[in-house]
């Protein structure tokens, strides 16, 4: 299975898992990251939509990171996944650099344990 297909599943599972433990009125906000920039549809609109939905709950502080365009140099693309409680993937373009994939896989394995 290509890792882009798996990323969509991970996004949904991670978001559902984090949202299920959140309590209204919680003093500390959960930190969410929306990863976007390459997709086969209007990612500019959708990433803003995801950000707004999460923030409107009053449970999340949201950052958005945009990957380089298709075919561009990805060497500077390095989201700090470990700094977030929730990662929303709105990205299905070029493969991430190995260090970025490994970083994401590490948080996924930790969350699933």
Q: How many domains does the chain have?
A: 1
- Residue 99 within any structural domain of the chain: yes
Tell me the pTM: 0.74
Q: What is the reported pLDDT for 65?
A: 96
Domain of 45, in residue numbers: 29-68+80-113
28, burial (CB in 10 Å: exposed 0-12, middle 13-18, buried 19+): exposed
Q: Give me the pLDDT at residue 25, please.
A: 52
Q: Is 112 inside a domain boundary?
A: yes
Say what the pLDDT of residue 112 is.
75
What is the model's pLDDT at position 101? Answer: 94
């Amino acid at each position: 299975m290509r890792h882009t297909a798996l990323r969509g599943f991970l996004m949904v599972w991670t978001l559902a898992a984090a949202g299920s433990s959140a309590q209204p009125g919680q003093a500390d906000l959960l930190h969410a990251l929306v990863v976007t920039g390459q997709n086969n549809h209007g990612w500019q609109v959708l990433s803003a939509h995801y950000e707004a939905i999460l923030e409107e709950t009053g449970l999340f502080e949201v950052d958005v990171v945009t990957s380089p365009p298709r075919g561009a140099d990805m060497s500077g693309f390095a989201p700090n996944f470990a700094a977030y409680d929730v990662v929303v993937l709105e990205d299905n373009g070029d493969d991430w650099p190995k260090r970025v994939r490994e970083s994401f896989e590490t948080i996924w394995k930790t969350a699933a344990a």
